[in-house]
Structure 1
Amino acid sequence: MSTATSNGFGVLRHRNFRLYLLARLLSTLAVQMQSVAIGWQVYAMTHDVFDLGLIGLAQFAPFLLLILYAGHAADRYDRRRIITLCIGAQLLCGLALLAFCFVDMKVVWPIFLVLVLFGSARAFIMPASQAILINMVPPESFSKAVALGSSTFHVAVILGPVLGGLLYLAGAKTVYAVVTALLIVAVVLMMLARVIPQASNREPATWHSVLEGLRFVWSRPVVLGAISLDLFAVLFGGATALLPAIAHDILMVGPTGLGLLRTAPAVGSALTSIALGFWPISRRVGRWMFGGVALFGAGTIALGLTHSMVIALVALVLMGGGDMVSVYIRHLLVQFETPDAIRGRVSAVNSVFIGASNELGEFESGITAGWFGLVPAILVGGVATLVVTAAWSLGFPVLSRMDRFPHARRDAADTDAPGAGA
Structure 2
Amino acid sequence: MAETISAKQLLRTRSVSPFLLASVASTIATMIQITALGKQLYDMTGRDLDLGLLGLAEFAPAFLLMTVTGSFADRYDRRHIASIGLGVEVIATGMLAFYIATKPTATLPIFVIVIVFGIGRAFVSPATRSMPADIAPDGGLPRLIAFHVACWQASAIIGPVLAGFLFVVSPSWPFIACMILTAAGAVLIQFARPRPDRIAPGNSLAGAQDASVIELGDEMRPAEMLDVLGEQNAEHIAHESLTPTAASGVATKKKRTFHEAFEGFRVIRRNPALLGAISL
User: Which of the five TM-score ranges fits, normalised by the shorter chain?
Assistant: 0.7 to 0.9
For the residue of structure 2 that corresponds to 1:194, the secondary structure is: coil
How big is the alpha-carbon RMSD for the aligned residues of Structure 1 and Structure 2? Answer: 1.9
Q: How many angstroms does 1:8 deviate by?
A: 4.3
Task: Please show how residues 216-365 of structure 1 align to structure 2 within 5 Å.
Answer: 216-228=267-279, 330=280
Q: How many angstroms does 1:216 deviate by?
A: 1.8
1:208 to 259, 263, 270: 259
Is 1:68 the counterpart of 2:67? The answer is yes
Task: Please show how residues 128-207 of structure 1 align to structure 2 within 5 Å.
Answer: 128-196=127-195, 197=199, 198=204, 199-200=206-207, 201=250, 204=255, 206-207=257-258
Give the AA of the match of 1:64: F
Give the AA of the match of 1:224: L
Give the AA of the match of 1:133: P
Specify whether residues 219 and 144 from structure 1 end up closer, same or farther in structure 2 by C-alpha distance, changes over 3 A only. farther
Specify whether residues 204 and 114 from structure 1 end up closer, same or farther in structure 2 by C-alpha distance, changes over 3 A only. farther
Q: Distance in 2 between matches of 1:105 and 1:55?
A: 16
For the residue of structure 2 that corresponds to 1:15, the secondary structure is: coil
Equivalent position of 2:54 in the other structure: 55
Q: How many angstroms does 1:170 deviate by?
A: 1.0
Select between 184-193 and 138-147 the one with higher mean Cα deviation.
184-193
Q: Distance in 1 between matches of 2:52 and 2:268?
A: 29
Equivalent position of 2:228 in the other structure: none
The number of equivalent residue pairs is 225
Is 1:110 the counterpart of 2:121? The answer is no
Q: Distance in 1 between matches of 2:8 and 2:108?
A: 44
Q: Distance in 2 between matches of 1:113 and 1:9?
A: 44
In structure 2, list runs of 5 or more residues that go unmatched.
Answer: 208-249
Q: Normalized against structure 2, the TM-score is what?
A: 0.75
Equivalent position of 2:41 in the other structure: 42
Q: Distance in 2 between matches of 1:209 and 1:11?
A: 34
Q: Normalized against structure 1, the TM-score is what?
A: 0.51
User: Does the aligned pair in 1 maintain the 2:25–2:181 contact within 8 Å?
Assistant: yes
Task: Give the percent of matched residue pairs that are identical in Structure 1 and Structure 2.
Answer: 34
Equivalent position of 2:242 in the other structure: none
Q: Distance in 2 between matches of 1:25 and 1:112?
A: 25
Q: How many angstroms does 1:26 deviate by?
A: 0.6
User: Does the aligned pair in 1 maintain the 2:44–2:105 contact within 8 Å?
Assistant: yes
Q: Distance in 2 between matches of 1:90 and 1:132?
A: 19
Q: How many angstroms does 1:203 deviate by?
A: 5.6
Q: How many angstroms does 1:41 deviate by?
A: 0.8
User: Does the aligned pair in 1 maintain the 2:101–2:171 contact within 8 Å?
Assistant: no
Q: Distance in 2 between matches of 1:118 and 1:101?
A: 15
- Cα deviation, 1:255-285, whole Å, max 9, x if unaligned, reads xxxxxxxxxxxxxxxxxxxxxxxxxxxxxxx
Q: How many angstroms does 1:64 deviate by?
A: 2.0
Equivalent position of 2:91 in the other structure: 92
Q: How many angstroms does 1:48 deviate by?
A: 1.2
Specify whether residues 80 and 168 from structure 1 end up closer, same or farther in structure 2 by C-alpha distance, changes over 3 A only. same
Q: How many angstroms does 1:152 deviate by?
A: 0.8
Q: How many angstroms does 1:115 deviate by?
A: 1.3
Structure in which a larger fraction of residues adopt helix: 1
Q: How many angstroms does 1:6 deviate by?
A: 4.4
For the residue of structure 1 that corresponds to 2:169, the secondary structure is: coil
Q: How many angstroms does 1:108 deviate by?
A: 1.2
- Cα deviation, 1:77-101, whole Å, max 9, x if unaligned, reads 1011101111111111210111112
User: Does the aligned pair in 1 maintain the 2:29–2:159 contact within 8 Å?
Assistant: yes
